[in-house]
Amino acid sequence: MRSVREAHKPSCVTSSIGGGTVLFEPGLSDRFKAALLELKAEPHSATRKESTLEILRSVVEGHRANRVVVANLPAELRSVVSGALQGRSVQFMEDLPSTDVLPACAAAEVGVTWAEFAIAEDGAIVEVAHDDAARLAASLPIVHIVLLPAGRLVRDVGAAMAVVGGILRASGPGQRPTVTFISGPSRTGDIELRLLYGVHGPHSLHVILLEWFEGR
Amino acid sequence: MAIEVRRSIEEPARVGKLWEAMERGRANRAATIEKTGLDLSAFRDRVRLIKETAAQDPSIAEAFAEAVRANGGRVFFAATGREAVQYVLDVCRANGAEFLVKSKSLTSEEVEMNQGLAAEGIRAIETDLGELLCQVAGEKPSHLVFPAIHMTSDRIARMLSEAYGEPIAPEPSSILSAVRARLRPQFLAAKVGVTGANIGVAETGSIVVETNEGNGRLVTSVPKVHIALIGLEKIVRRWDDAADLVRGHAISATGQRMTVYVSLISQRQPVAKDPAGREFHVIILDNGRTRMRADPWFRDALNCIRCGACMNVCPTYGVTGGHVFGHIYPGPIGIPWTANVHGLEEASFAHLCVSCGLCHEICPVDIDIPLMIAKVKDQDVEAHGQPTAERFFMASEAFAKVACLSAPLANRLLRRGSLRVLMEWAVGVDRRRTLPAFAHRTLRSRFRSREGQVGRVGKVAFFPDLYAEYNNPDQGLRAIEILERLGYSVIIPDVQWSGMPYVSYGRLGKASKLAADNLRVLGPLVDDGYDIVSTEPTAVYMLRKVYPKLLEGSLASKVATHSRGFFEFIEPHLAKLSLRPTADAAGLVGFHIPCHDRALSSGLPAMRFLERASYRVRPVETGTCCGIAGTFGMKSGWLGYDLSMAVGEKLFEQFRESGCDLIATESSVCTLQLQDGLGRPVRHPLDLVRVEGPA
Ligand code: SF4
Ligand code: SF4
């Protein structure tokens, strides 16, 4: 809340999310990337559409993955993903009959989804899902790739809660999305306190910051 | 209980791991607080305000229920655990589910959901790794945050190989893959998923589910039906309130900035636009909470955010573990919770608490856990009687008076083995414990027979407590003399002892009466311009922290604000004095911070006092108690001396390795413990410094 207000300067990026206008703070991108690295998530910066394609391709190749599920992306980005991953099985959850979604996500090695914004200091991306296909695609495969417009960063969890509170209030009863803060890959310390990744959710989390795309 | 304590102390591998978890928990927490620049005391105040408002206002739960229904969810108010389990059972049957998947939920353990469902033929599969390991082993979780901390990877691998019928290597990564592979099909086939909820938010009818492993995400997305079980006290009004709680859970539990997956769930979502069969149920659990809310002694427990920090600092939990120091809820806060939701009979582990006060110090919500524990002990003693040793120590003042009158004889007898055997047998004082010798003349009698000084700087009422009065009047006189040098007029008021054992041993009526008696003497002195000063940290702790809790009203808080530890009190004036070491060469002093001083000044003024006398000073500490905890470590056997030595062992080790020339501490009982544990003299800072001046 505080930092959103403080950020009320002309240089701020303004976006409209879930019916409300949100102000994002500039200059947080390095902190965000550093926080991601500390959490064992991998940040990538995509300055142009073409580099986005390259990053997607190399990440998927790097994991030797063949089956990719995609959900919750802005329509404009669908072609980017399918273009990048030609020759592999790429399924868009929105196109499938509902009963096929779970098996598709369970069989895929990579899930590509969308983050509405992110929390810089905590290295957390914020997923806003009106459909659980988005959450299944993000949590069942062992690799999760998140696309995020680079300018959409708030400083801390307090600022994020203010935005999310606004979204949830504005959505109205029965129309409220499920919102998830995700900071890093799935992890556990339950065996002898050793930090291990990928126990239930993804073992790898890639965040591609889109510098050329403002969002829906 | 004694047998269980003994068994857990004698299992060093397990104690070591738990201790490591606790140390790491404390260190991570401290590092994250430092890194995030969190203002801890402002944070505590905010969280406390949020939780207090939430826990005390019944209309919040109503508003929450209303909002959940408006989102299309179903709400069930469960008065008891049994009702909650029955509801889950009904939902399972209605959906033809033979099993369900569960993400970690302490509240579901509180209501013993798994057992209740199993009795009706429905399997609950734990999906949190630690919980799952406990489930396979048929054991209870031993730590709030790391339930399976007591298991080694070798044991886990053996256990799972047998349970899954395939060989699993003892490497943690192999265990992980095996569990992932095993659980996946169960997730995919589950019709019902059950979670707890870390927070409920009334304004939008939402719950917050936090997991690191991501199992919470699968449990709430794959199955058609999601049931969330939430304790009444976890519901807050607005989203603004939730941010601090999300931060607080993570930092205090594991030292993370944020839990990996924080899911804010308000309703069921369709899958690829298909909403068929997707249900959301919220069970709001009372199970004694409304009663706690009305109980001034226990309502504070409702403010707990279940972060586990208190566990990571508790000395006796650290060596006994959650299976002994716990019923279903383990650790310090587990005591008041157990007494209230599972009954006093299950809460006898309260007596393992040694009233060190550290859990209160670390709690992010500033919950006075030790006081609630004292109340549980009080109720338990009321119901089941009191051990002789505890009665003996509560009569310490009377005993000391008699012992002083016949000091040379008493001291000779107390050193004699045969009397100690007798004392152990008759009153339960451990014969191995060195007891302090008694002085022939008490502090008061020596003080009366000397020439007092009239000072112009101010007036001090010196509170001697037992040790300075009966055992070491020299130390008391030395302190008084320094106060006089600084220009204070000093009196010794006609007070009794501070009475900590009444609190430790759960005799709160007596504690309150004693406090009232002492305050009747001290109140008028404060009005007359006196400050209350003591060299005994426990006495200052009682005056400052405990009396105001025992007695309401302005008298206690007035005396509290005017009570100070000796070194803290003289520190601003030290420039007037010349301080030199009593030893020929000032060496390295290893300093032990008494627990009760952590709530006050953390030993800093005393350490600076020594430094001014040109000593090098280093605090030597494990971050927890030395183990004696007042008179606890004087009691005989596993519920006293042995447990106390087991707690102390880490600290003794650190002192041995510290290379210090001298050992110092302010507390009289810590001195006994360190001397017994190290076989070396332990000095009071006043014994190490020659004070002269002002010029
Ligand atoms: S007061 Fe000390 S011994 Fe008692 S529960 Fe708290 S930390 Fe443990
Ligand atoms: S009592 Fe305090 S420290 Fe202990 S779990 Fe609850 S909130 Fe955390």
Give the ipTM. Answer: 0.93
Domain boundary among the residues B260, B289, B318 is at: B289
Would the CB atoms of B149 and A193 count as touching at under 8 Å? yes
Opening angle at CA B422, ends B419 and B425, nearest 5:
155
- For residue range A15-36, list pLDDT tens digits in order: 666 555 677 888 899 999 999 9
A179 within a domain of the structure (yes/no): yes
Count CB atoms within 10 A of the CB of residue B447.
20
Q: What is the mean pLDDT of residues B675-679?
A: 87
Domain that holds residue B173: 54-289
Mean pLDDT of B51-71: 90
The tokens for B498 are 């501070």
Distance from Cα B15 to the centre of ligand 1, integer Å: 17
Q: Is the pLDDT at B340 greater than 60, yes or no?
A: yes
The helix/strand/coil state of B661 is: coil
Whole-number Å distance between alpha carbons of B357 and B596: 6
- Is there a domain that residue B689 lies in? yes
pLDDT digit string, tens, across residues A51-108 = 999 999 999 999 999 999 999 999 999 999 999 999 899 999 999 999 999 999 999 9
- The residue among B266, B289, B312 that closes a domain is B289
Atom of ligand 2 nearest to the CA of B306: 5
From chain A, pick out residues whose CB is under 8 angstroms from the CB of B271.
98, 101-102, 131-133, 136
Structure tokens at B253: 């539990």
Range of the domain at A150: 14-210
Question: What is the predicted pLDDT for the residue at B144?
Answer: 79
CB B234 within 8 A of CB B242: no
Number of H helices and number of E strands within chain A?
Answer: 7, 14
The reported pLDDT for the residue numbered B398 is 67
Residue-wise pLDDT for B346-391, tens only, equals 988 888 888 888 899 889 889 999 999 999 999 988 888 777 667 6
Contact A14, A22 (CB under 8 A): yes
Atom number, ligand 2, closest to the C-alpha of residue B253: 8
> How high is the pLDDT of residue B502?
86
- Which residue has its alpha carbon closest to ligand 2 atom 4? B310
What's at B401, amino acid-wise?
Answer: K
| pLDDT for the residue A103 | 96
Q: Is residue A129 one of the residues assigned to a domain?
A: yes
pLDDT (tens digit per residue) in B245-261: 898 888 877 778 899 99
Number of compact structural domains in chain B = 2
Report how many domains make up chain A: 1
In one letter, which amino acid is B67?
Answer: A
Q: From the alpha carbon of B311, which atom of ligand 2 is closest?
A: 4
Helix (H, G, I), strand (E, B) or coil at B507: coil
B515-532 average pLDDT score: 95
Please tell me which residue of chain A has the smallest CA distance to B238.
A165
Pairing mode of beta strands A187-188, A117-119 = unpaired
Closest listed residue to residue B525, CA positions, set B459, B437, B430, B439: B459
Nearest to B71 among A136, A173, A191 (CB): A173
Atom of ligand 1 nearest to the CA of B370: 1
Query: Does B404 have pLDDT greater than 70?
Result: no
| Mutation choice for B interface testing from A163, A191, A203 by most B CBs within 10 A | A191
Q: Measured between alpha carbons, how far is B83 from B112 in angstroms, rounded to an integer?
A: 11
The reported pLDDT for the residue numbered B556 is 93
List residues bridging with B591 in a β-sheet: B619, B664
Q: Give residue B313 CA to ligand 1 midpoint distance, Å.
A: 8
pLDDT in the model for residue A11: 45
Token pair 């009698």 in the structure block, residue? B445
Output the domain CATH number for residue A74: 3.40.50.10420
- Establish, for the pair of chains A and B, how many residue pairs have beta carbons separated by less than 8 Å: 199
Highest mean pLDDT among A30-44, A187-201, B542-556 belongs to A30-44
Q: Residues B405, B408, B414, B418: what is their CA dihedral angle, to the nearest 10 degrees?
A: -120
Structure confidence at residue A195 (pLDDT): 86
| Dist. CA B646–CA B320, nearest whole Å | 9
**Mutation target vs A (from B38, B173, B217, B218; most A CBs, 10 A cutoff):** B217
User: pLDDT band at residue A209, thresholds of 50, 70 and 90?
Assistant: very high
- Please compute the mean of the pLDDT values over residues B57-65 and round it to a whole number: 93
Paired strand residues for A181: A126, B262
**Interface mutation target, options B207, B212, B263, chain A, most CBs of A under 10 Å:** B212
Length of chain B: 695
Cα of B360 from ligand 2 centre, angstroms: 8
The enclosing H or E element of B617 equals: strand B616-619
User: Which residue shows structure tokens 């969890």?
Assistant: A157
Does the beta-carbon distance from A200 to B175 stay under 8 Å? Answer: no
Burial class (CB in 10 A: 0-12, 13-18, 19+), B540: buried
More confident residue, B403 or B670: B670
**Residue B642 in this model has a pLDDT that exceeds 90:** no
The C-alpha R_g of chain A, in whole angstroms, comes to: 17
Angle formed by the axes of helices B554-561 and B508-527, to 10°? 70
CA of A109 to the centre of ligand 1 (A): 48
Q: Which of B348, B343, B422, B331 is nearest to B385 (CA)?
A: B348
How far apart CA B558 and CA B568 sit, in angstroms, is: 18
What average pLDDT does the segment B305-334 reach?
87
Out of A98-107, B76-85, B218-227, B340-349, least confident range: B340-349
Q: How many CB atoms lie within 10 A of CB B7?
A: 14
Distance in angstroms (rounded) separating the CA atoms of residues B586 and B588? 7
Ligand 1 centroid distance, CA of B334 (Å): 11
Helix boundaries (H) for B279-395: 289-294, 315-320, 331-337, 358-362, 369-384, 388-394
Q: Which of A101, A173, A186 is closest, CB to CB, to B214? A: A186
Tokens of B23: 């140390």
Contact B213 A181 (CB under 8 A): no
Residue A74 in contact with partner chain B when CB distance is under 8 A? no
Q: Which of residues 24-83 of B touch A (CB under 8 A)?
A: 24, 36, 67, 70-72
Position B393 confidence tier, pLDDT thresholds 50, 70, 90 = low
> Which residue from B212, B246, B263 is facing A157, i.e. has the nearest CB?
B246
Comparing CA positions, the residue from B609, B631, B604 lying closest to residue B619 is B604
In ligand 1, which atom is closest to the CA atom of B310? 7
Closest CA to B472 of B515, B503, B512, B443: B443
**List of residues 6+ apart from B208 with CB closer than 8 A:** B197, B198, B199, B200, B201, B242, B245, B246, B262, B263, B264, B265
Name, in order, each residue with C-beta under 8 angstroms of B96's C-beta and a sequence gap of 6 or more: B191
In a domain, B382, yes or no: no
Please classify residue B214 by burial: count the beta carbons closer than 10 Å to its beta carbon, then call 0-12 exposed, 13-18 middle and 19+ buried. Answer: buried
As a whole number of angstroms, the distance between CA B629 and CA B595 comes to 8
Q: Are B166 and B156 contacting, i.e. CB atoms less than 8 angstroms apart?
A: no
What is the separation of C-alpha B529 from the centre of its chain, rounded to a whole number of angstroms?
A: 36
DSSP letter, residue B338: I
Query: Rounded to whole angstroms, how far apart are CA atoms B392 and B505?
Result: 11
pLDDT for residue B575 is more than 80: yes
Q: Which residue, by CA, sits nearest to atom 6 of ligand 2?
A: B304
Distance from C-alpha of B506 to C-alpha of B501, rounded to nearest angstrom? 8
pLDDT beyond 50 at B660:
yes
Per-residue pLDDT at B7:
65
Q: How remote is the CA of residue B134 from the centroid of ligand 1, in Å? A: 25
Identify which of B365, B366, B371 to mutate to test ligand 2's pocket (most ligand atoms within 8 A of the CB).
B365
Q: Residue A180 contacts by C-beta under 8 Å, 6 or more apart in sequence?
A: A126, A127, A129, A135, B217, B261, B262, B263, B264
The pLDDT score that the predictor gives to residue B623 is: 77
CA distance B205 to B69: 8
| Residue B528: DSSP 8-state | T
Q: How far apart are CA B166 and CA B227, in angstroms?
A: 33
Residues 145-164 of B with CB under 8 A from A: 146-149, 152-153, 156
> Is the pLDDT higher at A27 or at B540?
B540
Any CB–CB contact under 8 A between A164 and chain B? yes
- Could you give the angle at the alpha carbon of A21 between the alpha carbons of A17 and A24, nearest 5°? 85
CATH number at residue B171: 3.40.50.10420
Round the average pLDDT of chain B to a whole number and report it: 87
CA of B250 from ligand 2 middle (Å) equals 12
- Does a structural domain hold residue B282? yes
* pLDDT attached to residue A13: 58
- Mean pLDDT along residues B627-654: 78
- Residue at a domain's end among B239, B264, B289: B289
On whether the CB atoms of residues A177 and A135 are closer than 8 A, the answer is: no
Q: How far is the CA of B320 from the centre of ligand 2 (A)?
A: 19
In the prediction, which pLDDT does B601 show? 86
Q: Which residues of A touch B172 (CB under 8 A)?
A: 191-192, 194, 196
Least distant ligand from the CA of B252: 2
Cα gap B649→A185, rounded to integer Å: 39
Residue A47 touches partner B, C-beta closer than 8 Å: no
Residue B416 scores a pLDDT above 70: no
In angstroms, the CA B93 to CA B158 distance is 35
**Token code pair at residue B34:** 């430092």
Judge whether B646 and B9 are in contact, CB under 8 Å.
yes
- The answer to whether A113 touches B252, Cβ cutoff 8 Å, is no
> Is B272's Cβ below 8 Å from some Cβ in A?
yes
The residue of A70, A95, A122, A200 whose CB has the most chain B CBs within 10 angstroms, and thus the best one to mutate to test that interface, is A200
**Residue A41's closest chain B neighbor by CA?**
B260
Least reliable range by pLDDT among B166-170, B340-344, B406-410, B492-496: B406-410
As given in the structure block, the two tokens for residue B544 are 């400052």
Q: Which of B639, B648, B646, B647 shows the shortest CA–CA distance to B675?
A: B648
Q: What span, in angstroms and rounded, lies between the C-alpha atoms of B230 and B200?
A: 8
pLDDT of A4 reads: 39
Single-letter amino acid code for the residue at B387: P
DSSP state of A108: -
Residue A87, in any domain of the structure:
yes
Q: Are strands B530-534 and B563-565 parallel, antiparallel or unpaired?
A: parallel
Read off the CATH number of the domain in which B650 is found: 3.40.50
**Looking at the domain assignment, is residue A181 inside a domain?**
yes
What pLDDT shows up at residue B76? Answer: 98
Q: What is the pTM of this model?
A: 0.85
**Atom in ligand 2 nearest the alpha carbon of residue B305:** 7
Q: Is B284 or B693 the better-scoring residue by pLDDT?
A: B284
The pLDDT, as a whole number, for residue A178 is: 97
- In angstroms, the Cα distances linking B204 to A59, B197, B264, B278 are 38, 15, 10, 19
- A167 pLDDT exceeds 60? yes
